């Protein structure tokens, strides 16, 4: 049985992202990092110019454009692109990857799509900017609709987010946003859904979403999982060794691998990660263990046993 998945490599062109803020703020550094992730097996590069970590402050449209457009243009000039989930898929000579822009502003999305992106990853699920769905529909691009309670600067405020049933609430939200996108003219096969792990959720909310992921997969669209290096993993790993403080961001790879493998087993098919190569290897082994055929993106050949 074939059960494909795609790896979305994170390229943060920001000074304040929780994991790698400032490391790839320069255009050359960001392009080089993106190409490195493609070499490791990334099928999608997600380029973001505004941090969405808890407590992050918004970035103006002009500044976001200044950060992301040269990077997208540079990656496109290096031959990256592709038609994405609703088109003909990856192909051509050598490794290629779809370019995604991580933004909730329609003007940024429009400019990024013109520059070579073909996927809009909107953490607000088209709520922050009422023009976003129309921009996606008119361009024929793919989009990812994510659940988030509140806004980045408020989503984890004191008292903690509350849900009657986090899985039921997230599913109802994603279903409603999916229906809106369809009404606006976005083709169903162009839409990805993301439960927003860590976005306005407690540790237990995150774990419950992962446990009951098949309930979200039942919506019929590819599910994106973004657990990479997140705080709840740091707390779980700290408790495992009796530490009082969460383990450092640099020490959360094991938790990232575990959550992505479990999410894959439960039906997720797109994995947004910082560490592409180790997640690629973990998913390849998981696929083999589950009796699923995995095909290497870069060569089109099935890895030898």
Q: Which residues pair with 46 in a beta bridge?
A: 10, 100
Q: Which two tokens stand for residue 134?
A: 């129309």
Alpha-carbon gap, residue 156 to 127, rounded angstroms: 19
Q: Which H or E element spans position 6?
A: strand 6-12
- Residue 208 neighbours by CB distance under 10 Å: 17
Instruction: Please calculate the CA angle 121-1-293 and round it to the nearest 5 degrees.
Output: 70
Ramachandran sector of residue 261 (left: φ over 0; alpha: ψ -120 to 50; beta: rest): alpha
Q: Where are the alpha helices (DSSP H) in the chain?
A: 27-40, 61-77, 106-115, 132-139, 166-183, 203-211, 213-217, 231-240, 253-265, 276-289
List residues with catalytic annotation: 230, 272
Task: Give the C-alpha separation, 140 to 187, whole Å.
Answer: 8
- Please say whether the dihedral angle defined by the alpha carbons of residues 32, 38, 41 and 42, taken in this order, is positive or negative: positive
Crossing angle (nearest 10°) for helices 231-240 and 203-211: 90
Residues 113/94, Cβ–Cβ less than 8 Å = no
């Amino acid at each position: 049985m074939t059960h494909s998945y795609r790896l979305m490599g994170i390229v943060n062109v920001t000074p304040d992202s929780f994991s790698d803020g400032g490391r790839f703020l320069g255009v050359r550094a960001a392009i080089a990092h993106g190409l490195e992730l493609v070499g490791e097996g990334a099928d999608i590069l997600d380029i973001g110019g505004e941090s969405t970590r808890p407590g992050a402050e918004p970035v103006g449209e002009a500044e976001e454009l200044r950060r992301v457009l040269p990077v997208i243009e540079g990656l496109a000039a290096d031959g990256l692109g592709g038609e994405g989930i609703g088109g003909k898929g990856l192909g051509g000579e050598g490794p290629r990857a779809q370019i995604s822009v991580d933004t909730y502003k329609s003007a940024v999305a429009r400019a990024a799509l013109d520059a070579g992106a073909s996927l809009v990853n909107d953490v607000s699920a088209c709520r922050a900017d009422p023009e976003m769905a129309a921009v996606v529909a008119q361009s024929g691009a793919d989009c990812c609709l994510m659940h988030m309670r509140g806004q980045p600067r408020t989503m984890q405020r004191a008292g903690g987010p509350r849900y009657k049933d986090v899985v039921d609430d997230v599913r109802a939200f994603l279903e409603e946003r999916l229906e809106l996108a369809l009404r606006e003219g976005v083709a169903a096969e162009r839409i990805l859904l993301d439960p927003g792990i860590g976005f306005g959720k407690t540790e237990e909310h995150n774990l419950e979403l992962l446990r009951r992921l098949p309930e979200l997969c039942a919506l019929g669209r590819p599910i994106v999982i973004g657990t990479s290096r997140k705080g709840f993993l740091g707390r779980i790993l700290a408790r495992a060794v009796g530490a009082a403080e969460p383990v450092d961001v640099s020490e959360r790879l094991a938790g990232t691998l575990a959550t992505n493998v479990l999410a894959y087993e439960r039906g997720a098919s797109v994995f947004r990660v910082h560490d592409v190569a180790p997640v690629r290897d973990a998913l390849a082994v998981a696929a083999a263990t589950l009796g699923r055929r995995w095909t290497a993106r870069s060569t089109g050949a099935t890895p030898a046993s």
